[in-house]
Amino acid sequence: MQLLEERILRDGKVRDGNVLKVDSFLNHQMDVTLFSEMAREFYRLFQTDNVTKILTIEASGIGMACITAQVFDCPVIFAKKSKTKNIAGDVYTSKVESFTHGGLYDIIVAKEFLKPEDRILIIDDFLANGAALMGLSSLVTDAGATLVGAGIAIEKTFQRGGELLRSQGMRIESLAKIKSMEGGKIQFC
Amino acid sequence: MQLLEERILRDGKVRDGNVLKVDSFLNHQMDVTLFSEMAREFYRLFQTDNVTKILTIEASGIGMACITAQVFDCPVIFAKKSKTKNIAGDVYTSKVESFTHGGLYDIIVAKEFLKPEDRILIIDDFLANGAALMGLSSLVTDAGATLVGAGIAIEKTFQRGGELLRSQGMRIESLAKIKSMEGGKIQFC
C-alpha cells in the first residue's frame, strides 16, 4: 500500500536490533486518517470472507482494529496480556514471546466472545517473528472458530514469521512488507 | 447518554468490590457502532474547544479514543504503562494507582507528541477514583499544553474521583454516571 510505505519512509526510524520506530503515526501517536485508508484496504482484501469479528492484541493493534471494524460492521475483541480481576470465568489462553519487550507473556480471550460459528480476521500492527500472530491464531483454533486470515500493517519479511505461517496455510495480507533495514535504509519487497 | 445507560443495564454485570463488568461491549469485546455514537456525543460537548489531540491510556481507552478522533479530525496519543525499548529519548512520566489490577505503575508519553500549543481532550472508559485521569492530566501539565477536558464513558460517582477533580477545575463530561451499584443494582445519577 503506497500511502503506508511513503509514510514509513518519511516518518519511520530504524533503531538498533531491527526495531522500526513508527510511533509518530502507528503505535504511540496514531493517525486515524491513515488508519481509515488502511481499513478500506483490508476491506478490499477480505470483503468476501464474511468476517464476523476482528481479533487483535493489546495495546497498539486496538486502534487499527476498531477503525477496520467500522468498515466491516462487526465487533472487535482484543486479547489481553494478563489475567485481570475484570475477566471472570473461562478464557482461552496462549503464550507469546515478545520481540519488543523480551520475555514470555500470556494472552487471553474470554470464551464467551469467540464462538465456533465466528469467522475471525486478525488485525495487528507488526509481523516479525510471528509470535503474536501464532498466539492469536491458536486462540481461534481453541475456540473452534474459523480464521479467515490476518491483516497486518507492517511485515518485516526478513524475520521469517510470515513465511513460516504462510507455509502452514495462513492467509496473511501485509500492507507494507520490509525486506531489509540494513544500514538504517528501509527497503520494501 | 441514554443509549449507553441502556446498554449498561442490559449487558453490564456487577461484581464484588464495586467492579462493573462491561467487557461484552466496552473493554474486551468492543462495539464500534456504539463507540461512533459516543464519539458524536463527545464532539457535541467539546466541538468549540479547538481540540488538537486526544490523549488516552492503554489499553481499553484506545478504541474509543481512535473513533472519537475521527470525528474531531485529530491524532490520538496513548500513554504507555511501562517504558519499552521502542520509546527512545525524552518522555513525560507520571505514577498511577490501578483500581482494577492493584499496585502502582508508570505512564509515559514521548515529549515530541505533547507540545505547549496542544489543546488536549482526554478520553477514557472509566472514571472511579480518578487515578488514571490525574496521571494523564499531569502529563498534559508537564508539557505546558492545555487540558480542554475529559470525556469519560462511565463514571462511578460514588468513588469520588470526579468530584475531587471537578473541584480542582477540571471539566469532565461522563456519558453515564452511576451513583450506586448496591446489591448488584445499577442506579444512574
Percentage with pLDDT > 70 across chain B: 95
pLDDT tens, position by position, B65-106: 999 999 999 999 999 987 554 455 689 999 898 766 678 889
Asked if A23 and B86 come within 8 Å (Cβ–Cβ), the reply is yes
- How many A×B Cβ pairs under 8 Å? 130
Cα–Cα distance, A44 to A27 (Å, whole number): 23
Asked if A32 and B113 come within 8 Å (Cβ–Cβ), the reply is no
- Please check the confidence at residue B132 and state whether its pLDDT lies above 80: yes
Q: Are strands A172-180 and A187-188 parallel, antiparallel or unpaired?
A: antiparallel
Cell numbers for B131, please give them. 487515578
- Please check the confidence at residue B5 and state whether its pLDDT lies above 60: yes
- Consecutive sets of 10 residues in chain A, 189 residues long: mean pLDDT of each? 98 91 96 98 98 96 98 97 62 84 86 97 96 97 98 96 97 98 95
Question: Is the Cβ–Cβ distance between A54 and A76 less than 8 Å?
Answer: yes
Asked if B100 and A112 come within 8 Å (Cβ–Cβ), the reply is no
What burial class does residue B90 get, using C-beta atoms within 10 Å of its C-beta: 0-12 exposed, 13-18 middle, 19+ buried?
A: exposed
Q: Which residue has the cell 518519511?
A: A10
Asked if A32 and B76 come within 8 Å (Cβ–Cβ), the reply is yes
Enumerate chain B positions whose Cβ falls within 8 A of a Cβ in A: 15, 17, 19, 21, 23-25, 27-33, 35-36, 58-59, 62-63, 65-67, 69-70, 73, 75-78, 80, 84-88, 100-101, 109-110, 112-113
**Phi, psi for A22 (deg, rounded to 5):** -125, 35
Cα–Cα distance, A63 to A125 (Å, whole number): 10
HSE-CB for A58 with a 13 A CA cutoff: 25
Question: Is the Cβ–Cβ distance between A3 and A37 less than 8 Å?
Answer: yes
Q: Which conformational region is residue B137 in: left (phi greater than 0), alpha (psi within -120 to 50 degrees), or beta?
A: alpha
**What's the confidence (pLDDT) of residue A101?**
67
pLDDT tens, position by position, B95-124: 898 766 678 889 999 999 999 999 999 999
- Please check the confidence at residue B54 and state whether its pLDDT lies above 90: yes
